[in-house]
A and B are shown apart, each in its own frame.
Chain A
Amino acid sequence: MMYPKENALVHWIFSSYVKWLVGKTFNKFNYNNIDVDAGKSVLLVANHFSFWDGLILFLINKRLWKKKFHVMILKETAVHSSILRYAGAFSVSKNSREMLQSLNYAAGLLQNPDNLVLMFPQGKLYSNFVDHVNFNKGIMRLIEKAEGKFRLVFAATFIQYLKHKKPSVTVYFKNEPGNYAGRSIKELQDNYQQHYQAAKQLETEIEI
């Protein structure tokens, strides 16, 4: 497993670069402001359709919640884009014993109220046009291990073009009550699906 790397200068360079890149690439960058409990860590569960997802949520966390950002990424991505490790990325290898190590590490991070862990439970990239979001089982192990010391937040991200040359990105957040310990993955998935569907509906009705 590959752990995050600490280097304040590289972190600052990365963060400034991402801020510049997002500003240059997108026409607008919208999200709904939600408050999170300062005394609890955040487990952010999001849909995964592009490389941008993590970068956008990284920036929003900096603006809104100011927690220490961590994200679980595939080992291939961690090898290929090792700079992400300076922004709090740690690796997971699906179908290997290392996976448990990664989930335990993430659960450990959630014990500290200053941390935020972003997870894409879909496990890989899917189209932005999917109707049903399917979760891999790992997230439940993480939730059980973290023993309720976190606040669960759902995020659904969509990108559209509208009348501008550059696209706009919208992130819909929702504070999810409860932490799902002892409950089934189906319940978690269904509730995320409900949020995703409502967000997609809003995105479809967007005024142009």
Chain B
Amino acid sequence: MISRPRRKILADLFAKYMYYRMRKTFNRLQVVNKFEPRSGHSVLLLCNHFGWWDGLWANYLAYWHLDRKSYIMMQEDHLQARMWLSHCGAFSINRSSREMITSLQHAAGLLDDHENVVIVFPQGELISNHTTEIKVEKGIERLIKNIKGPCQIVYNAVLVEYFESLKPSAYFHLYDCGLAGEVSFDELTTRINAFHQQALKAQLNVEH
């Protein structure tokens, strides 16, 4: 597993630079529903995974909306290609090795601190943005079981649209899935899928 200490100055610089890049690339970055994370709780941010920008969007949410120190779980080969990200809170997971358990335990350990948010893509691979079903990998169950501190699980459905602009807009639908330890894995999967359906419906009426 690749993991290095998060350097605040680099993570902050990266978040601010990416905000500048995103403002140039996107027409809107909009959180559709008002969302406040519970105070005194860390956040496990589960996001749908359909494109290159996903991690950057999640980092944007963590920094500008959830006000927590962000850590992100990345596929090992992807992180190896961009090792400098490990200074900004990225750590690796290799799904085909036994080290996977170490990565999940590391993520759970980070969530014991209420100042942290850990970004995870529960689908484990890129799936079309038009999918209506969100597959949640079993590893999430193990991750949640290992969390000891108070932790809120949040599902983030990102949907991209264009409407009148030539630039795309990213719409974030954030939902509270409950607290770690209080919601079972099956219940979590059901809630995520119900929230995703809700997001697809809400998307039809977003402001543009």
Binding site for B on A (CB under 8 A): 21, 25, 49-52, 125-130, 158-165, 167, 200, 203-206, 208
Known: A164-B52, A204-B132. A128 touches B162 (CB 8 A): yes
Known: A129-B200, A163-B51. A51 touches B162 (CB 8 A): yes
A172 CB, nearest partner CB in chain B, Å: 12
Q: Could you say which residues of chain B place their CB within 8 Å of the CB of A161?
A: 50-53, 129, 160
8 Å CB interface, B89-135 against A: 125-132
User: Is there a chain A Cβ closer than 8 Å to B159's Cβ?
Assistant: yes
Of A25, A130, A204, which contacts B131 at CB under 8 A? A204
Q: Could you say which residues of chain A place their CB within 8 Å of the CB of B132?
A: 204
User: Is there a chain A Cβ closer than 8 Å to B20's Cβ?
Assistant: no
Q: In the bound complex, how far is the Cα of B129 from the Cα of A160, in angstroms?
A: 7
Interface SS, A side: loop
Q: In the bound complex, how far is the Cα of B50 from the Cα of A89, in angstroms?
A: 35
Known: A49-B161, A49-B163. A129 touches B204 (CB 8 A): yes
Number of B residues near A (Cβ < 8 Å) is 26
8 Å CB interface, B1-59 against A: 50-53
Is there contact, CB below 8 Å, between A163 and B128? no
Q: Could you say which residues of chain B place their CB within 8 Å of the CB of A165?
A: 52-53
Contact digits for B153-189, partner A, Cβ 8 Å, 1 yes 0 no: 0000001111111101000000000000000000000
Known: A50-B162, A52-B162. A162 touches B168 (CB 8 A): no
Is there contact, CB below 8 Å, between A204 and B50? no
Is there contact, CB below 8 Å, between A51 and B164? yes
Known: A160-B128, A161-B52, A204-B130. A128 touches B161 (CB 8 A): yes
Interface SS, B side: loop
Is there contact, CB below 8 Å, between A204 and B168? no
Q: Could you say which residues of chain B place their CB within 8 Å of the CB of A125?
A: 163-164, 208
Is there contact, CB below 8 Å, between A158 and B130? yes
B57 CB, nearest partner CB in chain A, Å: 11
User: Is there a chain A Cβ closer than 8 Å to B193's Cβ?
Assistant: no
Q: Could you say which residues of chain A place their CB within 8 Å of the CB of B126?
A: 162-163, 208
Is there contact, CB below 8 Å, between A52 and B203? no
Is there contact, CB below 8 Å, between A129 and B51? no
Other A-B contacts than A125-B163, A129-B159, A163-B52, 10 sampled, CB-CB below 8 A, are A49-B163, A50-B161, A127-B206, A128-B162, A129-B200, A159-B162, A159-B168, A160-B50, A161-B129, A162-B126
Is there contact, CB below 8 Å, between B164 and A203? no
Q: In the bound complex, how far is the Cα of B52 from the Cα of A193, in angstroms?
A: 30
Across the two chains, which residue of chain B brings its CB closest to A55? Answer: B166
Across the two chains, which residue of chain B brings its CB closest to A125? Answer: B163
25 A-B contacts (beta carbon < 8 Å): A49-B162, A50-B164, A50-B165, A51-B165, A125-B208, A127-B161, A128-B162, A129-B159, A129-B200, A158-B130, A160-B128, A160-B129, A160-B130, A161-B51, A161-B52, A161-B53, A161-B160, A163-B52, A164-B52, A167-B160, A200-B130, A203-B128, A204-B128, A206-B128, A208-B126
Q: In the bound complex, how far is the Cα of B203 from the Cα of A204, in angstroms?
A: 17
Is there contact, CB below 8 Å, between B163 and A129? no
A195 CB, nearest partner CB in chain B, Å: 15
Is there contact, CB below 8 Å, between B131 and A159? no
Q: Could you say which residues of chain A place their CB within 8 Å of the CB of B204?
A: 126-127, 129-130
8 Å CB interface, B192-208 against A: 200, 203-204, 206, 208
Q: Could you say which residues of chain A place their CB within 8 Å of the CB of B52?
A: 161-165
A170 CB, nearest partner CB in chain B, Å: 11
